[in-house]
Structure 1
């Protein structure tokens, strides 16, 4: 098969390319931001020509920045995705986010839950989702992603461990910490299995808080988890509101031949040697 990976310079994009190489897929076009401007319709149409699978990881990722420039964020996360979906159709697997939900739930969000985003970033991502699904493509929502490439919470905790005696970390947001490499393996398997188009949740099983994740990182690294102190989100005000609850259900994987991702704690144990 011929694969196109957009956003190939990012954390998930790089892991997707690595997994494709590991499984022996030689015909892969890794398109970084410099290679492909997804807001350029002609460039998008040319890029998807001949591709059997299009994995779209490109997007506006500055959640707080979207609050001050929603038009620009939506042009990338919504309008450009519509163009990509129109060009790729069912060949497209597009990555989205828990931020399409308001976080008011107390049980995992089902794949068919109605989006109700809290912020500009989430509104743009929800617009992109609708376009992909209307074109017959698939959406993979993920959350609390971390990996070896680029900044993320787990790597930040490891860095700060050597800089500060204690760390205050919020304990009132709940989610599923998810290793980008494990997600990449799951989605490559998904593309090979060719399940029915629709929404899939690519997140770890189980959940914790940011405080719980930070303590687990310290524990795995052989550090004292008591150095992590709990605090509340109002101590760290930010322009964009964050969902308080970001746990996603995984029912759609049943019958696809592709397993849901493992528990977040098991995943962290496997990931940490790669991240340090």
Structure 2
């Protein structure tokens, strides 16, 4: 009974049920083996000194290659000539590229350069094309960022390679900057000294390079100061937040006014003649 079902032909094809089952098994086993091979490959690369972004790029490239081989094996198990299928796919891909899909090759090439020269690395915080986030991976076609509020951004590799990249993580030291305005009637020297003392008393602010307070400009309603404090890269945001909070409290305690924009409106009342 079972042999009869397995040997039964599938309508409109020369395949039998057993041929189809065998092909599906080949497909499933192939995908499972591909994942195992990629996992072994990735773990092996992690034992080397290769950066994470290169490991991820090579692993994704191997995944794509193995999946193509699995699909070709599946097609072969169905009884089709793999060689002719491969040539047909090549012709289709060539036709697509000829009709304006050259960006695919450009993105692939850019991905190779990014993984090789490493202007960015995995877990770096970067700004690319005005988009800020942590680098999740560099794939074959696109670079993946995750924003601090957990949004997923995909940027084509050609845009990453062809744009200015701001890497906030690469340098070991960073300068935290805090802008604050004081009233024109306030004691400027006292305001600068209070700001300087706040930075000196912060344990995360480095003595070398030394912190500084500069007069950055004269606004419409305030004298603008900027606190500049050097710290370790991983502490830069904490230092910025702490200094912002502390300067507000200290100026309030010392009676140094932090003005807000004001507008004077004069009404000219005319009497009816």
Give the shorter-chain TM-score range: under 0.3
Question: What TM-score, normalized to structure 1?
Answer: 0.23
Question: What TM-score, normalized to structure 2?
Answer: 0.23
Q: Computing the radius of gyration over CA atoms, which structure comes out larger, 1 or 2?
A: 2
Q: Which has the higher helix share?
A: 2
Higher RCO, 1 or 2 (CA under 8 Å, sep at least 6)?
1
